């Protein structure tokens, strides 16, 4: 799919919703890790999401419309690197790194996608304004998280955990580009296929690494089910729709929202103190988003000077 991205009000709503959903994901996953080993958290999350999405897909007729055999390897690649690998990396890494570092690494997805899209996606060329906007947004994330972004946990595996976080961010960036270039497919079918391929990778690795799946208490099962239902099944479909219509660069704006919502959830649900940098960070993030997407905003509000 190589058409020029079309950014509409619906695109903005979906990106905002994805930021909200993924902003609470790391908090829920951290709680789930207290009940299950990391790869089984990832396997339970993607497996449950695959079952839900396949049922919905079949109720809609089970359409996917892949006719070129060369597209199947691309779909398998997207599946492994947009779900399986980053889910495992992040679940494992959260045992050893601070949540602040995880937030910064997810914000870096936008900076990874920008140069890749410039070369591989029509209509997504870098410009000074767009690049400067993304840098301002990333600076806002650093202001929000502050020195804790570079604080240490003291774990001997912390460095490897940080590498795993950045590897997960790279997977999201590269898979977004490949996903955009797939031919027109049914979004629900594409989401189902992605989760099925991902499950076929994660579940065997969880067996090899941790043995048979443990039977956690009801709280642990509920947390994994929540991870599978909302930030995996629901968000996977939304992510695919946004990338296919508005493009991977626009989709990457979600990653600036994730740390922001993480702080909001921490303050409101976990009783954490409100950072004094919250207002300035929010202004920087919103300014960066507005600057990088100025053309889309002008079109949205009817300006002819794009």
Task: Give tens-digit pLDDT for 109-153.
Answer: 988 998 998 888 887 888 888 899 999 999 988 888 777 777 788
Q: Which of 39-43, 190-194, 213-217, 296-300 has the highest mean pLDDT?
A: 39-43
Report how far residue 249's alpha carbon sits from residue 177's, in angstroms, rounded to the nearest whole number. Answer: 9
125 vs 239, higher pLDDT: 239
Indicate the Cα dihedral angle 135, 252, 257, 159, nearest 10°: -80
Average pLDDT over residues 270-280: 77
Report how far residue 34's alpha carbon sits from residue 230's, in angstroms, rounded to the nearest whole number. Answer: 20
Report how far residue 298's alpha carbon sits from residue 105's, in angstroms, rounded to the nearest whole number. Answer: 30
Determine the distance from the C-alpha atom of residue 134 to the mean position of all C-alpha atoms in its chain, rounded to a whole number: 17
Say if residue 26's pLDDT is above 80.
Answer: yes
Res 123: pLDDT? 79
CB distance 14 to 238 below 8 Å: yes
146 vs 192, higher pLDDT: 192
Interior CA angle at 161 toward 158 and 167, to 5°? Answer: 145
SS3 213: coil
Res 233: pLDDT? 95
Domain boundaries, the chain: 9-300
Any idea which of 30-34, 151-155, 236-240, 274-278 has the lowest mean pLDDT?
274-278
Q: What's 35's DSSP letter? A: T
Residue with tokens 């443990």: 214
Q: What's 221's DSSP letter? A: H
Any idea which of 182-186, 243-247, 272-276 has the lowest mean pLDDT?
272-276
Buried-state track 128-142, b at ≥16 Cβ within 10 A, e below 16: eebbebbbbbbbbbb
Res 209: pLDDT? 95
Report how far residue 148's alpha carbon sits from residue 293's, in angstroms, rounded to the nearest whole number. Answer: 29
CB distance 267 to 138 below 8 Å: no
User: Which pTM does this prediction carry?
Assistant: 0.85
Residue with tokens 């996608």: 113
């Amino acid at each position: 799919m190589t058409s020029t991205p079309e950014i509409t009000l619906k695109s903005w709503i979906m990106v905002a919703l994805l930021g909200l959903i993924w902003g609470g994901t790391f908090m829920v996953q951290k709680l789930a890790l207290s009940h299950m080993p990391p790869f089984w958290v990832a396997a339970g999350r993607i497996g449950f999401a695959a079952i839900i999405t396949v049922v919905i897909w079949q109720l809609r007729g089970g359409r996917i419309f892949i006719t070129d055999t060369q597209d199947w390897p691309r779909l398998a690649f997207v599946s492994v690197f947009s779900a399986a690998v980053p889910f495992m990396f992040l679940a494992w890494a959260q045992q050893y790194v601070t949540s602040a570092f995880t937030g910064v690494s997810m914000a870096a997805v936008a900076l990874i996608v920008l140069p890749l899209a410039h070369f591989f996606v029509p209509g997504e060329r870098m410009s000074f304004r767009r690049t400067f906007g993304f840098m301002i947004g990333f600076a806002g994330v650093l202001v929000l998280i502050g020195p804790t972004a570079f604080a240490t946990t003291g774990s001997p595996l912390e460095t490897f955990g940080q590498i795993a976080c950045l590897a997960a961010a790279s997977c999201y960036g590269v898979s977004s580009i490949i996903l955009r270039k797939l031919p027109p497919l049914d979004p629900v079918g594409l989401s189902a296929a992605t989760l099925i391929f991902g499950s076929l990778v994660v579940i065997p690795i969880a067996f090899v690494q941790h043995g048979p799946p443990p039977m956690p208490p009801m709280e642990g099962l509920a947390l994994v089910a929540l991870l599978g239902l909302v930030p995996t099944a629901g968000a996977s479909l939304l992510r695919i729709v946004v990338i296919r219509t508005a493009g991977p660069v626009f989709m990457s704006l979600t990653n600036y929202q994730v740390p922001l919502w993480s702080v909001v959830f921490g303050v409101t649900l976990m009783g954490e103190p409100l950072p004094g940098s919250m207002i300035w960070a929010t202004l920087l993030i919103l300014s960066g988003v507005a600057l990088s997407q100025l053309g889309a905003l002008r079109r949205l509000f009817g300006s002819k000077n794009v």
